Chains A and B, each alone.
Chain A
Amino acid sequence: MRYGQAPEVLRDIDLRLTPGSFHFLTGASGAGKSSLLKLIYIAAKPSGGHLRIFDHDILTTPRTELPFLRRRIGVVFQEFHLLDHLTAFDNVALPLRIVGQKLEQYQSDVIELLDWVGLGERLWAYPPTLSGGEKQRLSIARAVVTKPDILLADEPTGNVDHAMALRILRLLVELNRMGTTVVIASHDQDLVARSGMPVLHLEHGRLSTQPAAAPRQFPDDFDTFPQTGIL
């Protein structure tokens, strides 16, 4: 793919995401991680080749059908893209309001989800008053509230300290265990290595795959993260 007339930022990409898989997407800054994710969450179209999402060829799918594909993909944006004039609660409720749910339908789900990401006490706070880690978790809550089939997270641990990074990673692994296909873009080599998860590596616009490495080296309490019934 390319931006306007600029040179291609991604080429010869051959990637197939198996449902239920978990991948890290690594590469230096500017390698094209965000661009690849954008292709997958249909915010950009490839300048060549084929892109099939949920068995729909994106280049030929009518524009009016794309929203229904996007609803099956949750995205944690690098810059969050939270709406500053809405409370944490209303930010998370947004995808549900878009699909036409009423307050009575989504209220308890949204509150439970915000509880799960540790924002149970910040329900009515506005994003500008939240810390980086809180915004990150709010953004994750919004991405998963519709129970998407795929979750894409762009540098979800980029703005937080190590303890918070682990906490966020746990949330994402937990989601994967519940069946969600997860792709996490990150340049935090240490975190990626410690997780032992399969890695997709971008360099010079090309993608290489590294299978799952050593067994997980997360802290002991990692597996005891509380289960939740809503997802």
Chain B
Amino acid sequence: MSQRKRLSASQNKAANQRSKAESDDEEDAFTQPSLSQVQRAKESFTPIQIDRKVAEVVQFILIKDQRKVPIRRADIAKHVIKEYRAIHQDIMKRVIHTFDQVFGLKLVEIDPKSHLYILVNKLEALPEEPVSLIPANPKHGLLFTILSVIFMKGGVVKEALVWGFLKKLRVDPGERHDIFGDVKKLVTDEFVRQKYLEYVRIPHTEPMEFELRWGVRADKEINKMKLLEIVGKLFDQEPSSWTQQYREATAAGSQSQSQR
């Protein structure tokens, strides 16, 4: 509950009604203001006011991130930045800096066209933590299993294969599960909205068939080499024995290294 308080009542309301009125004219908020506009805006706000605005944006994003749903830049503009839009670039720069320096989180734009952001952890969960960095969540176990299947099968699988695999683990997508509820909805809706998975129709299939891939968030958050090590332990096999996966994991590792 702690992170919302600085937001005004109207912002709270707006945040609750996330889906309402998310029209694209909000994007206008981010058309480049002229230099003189920026200058004037900077002069009309005190440094304290700007500090507070930065704090509000940080809190807004932290709260939105609890649901792991990507954050639209237009929503930040509409609900928080508002009349400060002329200096939004300065504000966002400081927000990004704060996430990086204080929280160890990286604000990543995952879709430059629709300006969607997610928060990615720069710190990794480690074995033998006295308190886990990411508390165990049964849904994450399920997600990790599905991501592993997709990765080991070369990056894309038909959904039927995943359902078949889950059935073997006694998670039947056709039945209501005690912990996961509607499994099919969790996988094809919640995980997809959270950008952990992509779920797309295979063209020209009748009846329609769908396939599953890793989503952008999974790419950013999941360490493929760690995943391969876990699968390796499961099958009592060296990670490097899966040549293709091993190559991909090595490449992903060096890429994320350079990003950090």
A binds B: no
Binding site for B on A (CB under 8 A): none
